[in-house]
Structure 1
Amino acid sequence: MRTIFKRLLALAAVGALTSATAEARYFRTVVIDAGHGGYDKGAQFGQVYEKHLCLDTATRLQNYLQSMGFKTVMTRNSDYFVSLAERVAITQRYKDAIFVAVHYNFTYRDSACGLETYYANGAESQNLAQMVQQNICRKVRATDRGAKFARYYVIRNNTCPAILVECGFVSNPTERQGMKAAWYRDSLAKAIADGVMRFRRDG
């Protein structure tokens, strides 16, 4: 009897885990967080500001996701400052959401290059990060810096699947030239959207 009882408990636990995983993948809303904004310019080289790159890419991402049938919420849709706490608070208003932050990178070594995607909480966020990372690197044929764990505020404090995508280095001359072109930002946006759809479908 004890053995049967233990097996039932084990099956129930597996069922609960499967249900929780399926529920985590069921989402209709994508909160798109264009990094920086307003007085917070982010990375900068000459007249190339990260805040502008982020907003343009995020707006393109919004258009692609909407065409795929997702509801989208932008944490900012113009050039103004939004605190990190408010970006998280916006996401928490939606119970059926995932969170995608769009950023561009910078380092004082201009040879550093490539794309990377960060996650902080749980297997769902890691899966989402890996799928988006694979897509963006394939789409623009950039150096794959991987899907990585990090504790950035906006992904650490979100309870839904949450990622932060670094779309190339403003400090790298070749990548900077690319990101100044609309086709590059559009390709990244499409690749992120495809990664989100893949996560929704295959998780």
Structure 2
Amino acid sequence: MIPLGIKVKRLLITLITSSLFLATGFDYTYAAPEQNSKQSPFILGNDQRVILIDAGHGGVDGGTSYGSTLEKDLTLAISRKLYLILRSNGLDAVLNRFDDYALSDENRWFPSSSRHRRDLTQRKGLADAIPTSVVVSIHVNWAPSSTKNGPLVLYRKEGRSYILAKAIQNQLNQLYDVNIRPEHGKPFFLLNKITATTVIVEAGFISSPIDRVKLYSPQGQKEIAKAIANGIAVYLTEI
């Protein structure tokens, strides 16, 4: 069980930071998916649909990299934009980190010497501590070959997670002009341990010069975030 102090601290950070972000006046308006252009799925309202955005890595854990660019910075940038889009359209969204720090630093309740395991259990702990219905974990991929490119959505072996993964994958495929199928992420801790509908979004390959055009630019990151938000919206109309 997560100590109450950690739960309260997380929720306070979310509420305070969301107020600051939403006051910026940036245009993060929702772009309706092509297959549902007549009506925005966000008209559904929140209806206890809490969406937890998991910004991958952070702090000492930089994730993968290309040159001096680290995965943790790209995942945070995309996650913050996704958070703003969802919140500005009336959905209850929570972002588990708004800055560059390791979630393992706040985990003093799990008795493990492994920083990586404390990090993962802290992410799962937050999903358990709030009434989460959807978890979207944002990551960036890497491959030995620079020719491999495109987004990939991984899902837990469960019907709703597959529906969510397929919806997000379809939107990202349109953005990247590719035809990639979502995959079962069998070995991943979050997909195995979190009971809510959960997917991992590999937003592109940092090793690909094609994908880096989107991953590195604020406009490209916003387009990725919009595609993910569109996929979430489509999912919410289907369940």
Which TM class, normalised by the smaller chain length?
0.7 to 0.9
Q: Which moved further from structure 2: 176-185 or 118-127?
A: 176-185
Aligned to 1:154: 190
Aligned to 1:5: none
Aligned to 1:145: 180
Q: Deviations over 1:51-95 (max 9, x none)?
A: 000000000000011122111111211101120111011011123
Q: Deviations over 1:127-171 (max 9, x none)?
A: 000001101111x23433321101311121110100000011001
Matched, 1:29 2:50: yes
Alpha-carbon offset, residue 27 of structure 1: 4.5
Aligned to 1:72: 93
Matched, 1:45 2:71: no
Q: Gaps spanning 5+ residues in structure 1: where?
A: 1-25
Distance 2:85 2:181 in 1: 24
Q: Deviations over 1:89-141 (max 9, x none)?
A: 10111234210000110011111111110001310000000001101111x23
Contact 2:48 2:92 in 1 (8 A): no
Aligned to 1:136: 172
Q: Of residues 205, 208, 219 in structure 2, which corresponds to 1:169? A: 205
Q: Deviations over 1:40-59 (max 9, x none)?
A: 11111112111000000000
Distance 2:132 2:61 in 1: 30
Distance 1:147 1:182 in 2: 25
Q: Of residues 185, 189, 200 in structure 1, which corresponds to 2:221? A: 185
Contact 1:31 1:100 in 2 (8 A): yes
State the SS of the aligned residue for 1:159: coil
Following superposition of structure 1 onto structure 2, how do residues 96-111 of structure 1 map, counting pairs within 5 Å?
96-111=132-147
Distance 2:229 2:55 in 1: 14
Distance 1:144 1:122 in 2: 22
Contact 1:57 1:188 in 2 (8 A): yes
C-alpha spacing 1:96/1:179, structure 2 compared with 1 (3 Å): closer
Contact 1:113 1:175 in 2 (8 A): yes
TM-score by length of 1: 0.83
State the SS of the aligned residue for 1:32: strand
Alpha-carbon offset, residue 189 of structure 1: 0.3
Distance 1:67 1:146 in 2: 30
Count of aligned pairs: 178
Percent identical residues: 27
Q: Of residues 133, 151, 154 in structure 2, which corresponds to 1:115? A: 151
State the SS of the aligned residue for 1:146: coil
Distance 2:169 2:215 in 1: 17
**2:83 corresponds to which letter in structure 1?**
Q
Q: Gaps spanning 5+ residues in structure 2: where?
A: 1-46, 104-118
Contact 1:43 1:49 in 2 (8 A): yes
Runs of 4+ in 1 over 4 A off after TM superposition: none
Q: Which moved further from structure 2: 94-103 or 119-128?
A: 94-103
State the SS of the aligned residue for 1:117: strand
